[in-house]
Amino acid sequence: MEMQIRPFAARDEPEVISLWERCELTRPWNDPRKDIHRKVSVSPDLFLVGEVDGHVVAAVMAGYEGHRGWLNYLAIDPSLRRRGLGRAIVEEAERRLRLRGCPKVNLQVRTTNREAIEFYRRLGYSVDEAVSMGKRLESDEPTR
């Protein structure tokens, strides 16, 4: 299967959000539209989509702040998994991070997502002995 990988374009937003929903990546506290708009304002060339036959079937947001690279929102159309598309888009994100001088890539996976954890292990990722912590600086939840 031939997948074309390219940077995200504004026209991709509906397909990317639909893909994230099918992959169960969206959460009420993260407005996907706001996440997309935040990403395209910072290193838009690291927000990649994969197309097959003109349809977005893969996406990943990568980032690099000078110390570590990050992968977020990796999504592969569930009906097209195990065909190398995930590996291809992750390797392209890693290539772009490496070109920026990035020495290490980090990512977060929910502990219940065994399939994703095994996928990343096959790509050479391992569990770091660290605690992931976060703090919301802005709420994306709808106000009532």
Residue 79: burial class (beta carbons within 10 Å; 0-12, 13-18, 19+): exposed
Using a cut of 0.85, tell me whether the model's pTM lies above it: yes
The dihedral region occupied by 116, where left means phi > 0, alpha psi between -120 and 50, and beta the remainder, is alpha
Whole-number pLDDT of residue 14: 98
Give the fold, CATH level 3, of 4-122.
Aminopeptidase (3.40.630)
pLDDT tens for each residue of 47-92: 999 999 999 999 999 999 999 999 999 999 999 999 999 999 999 9
CA–CA separation, 89 vs 93, rounded Å?
Answer: 6
Q: By percentage, how much of the chain surpasses pLDDT 70?
A: 97
Instruction: Quote the tokens at residue 130.
Output: 């660290």
Domain ranges of the chain: 4-122
Q: Is the dihedral of CA 84, 31, 35, 140 positive or negative?
A: negative
Contact between residue 92 and residue 48 where contact means Cβ atoms under 8 Å apart: yes
48 phi, psi to nearest 5 deg: -110, 145
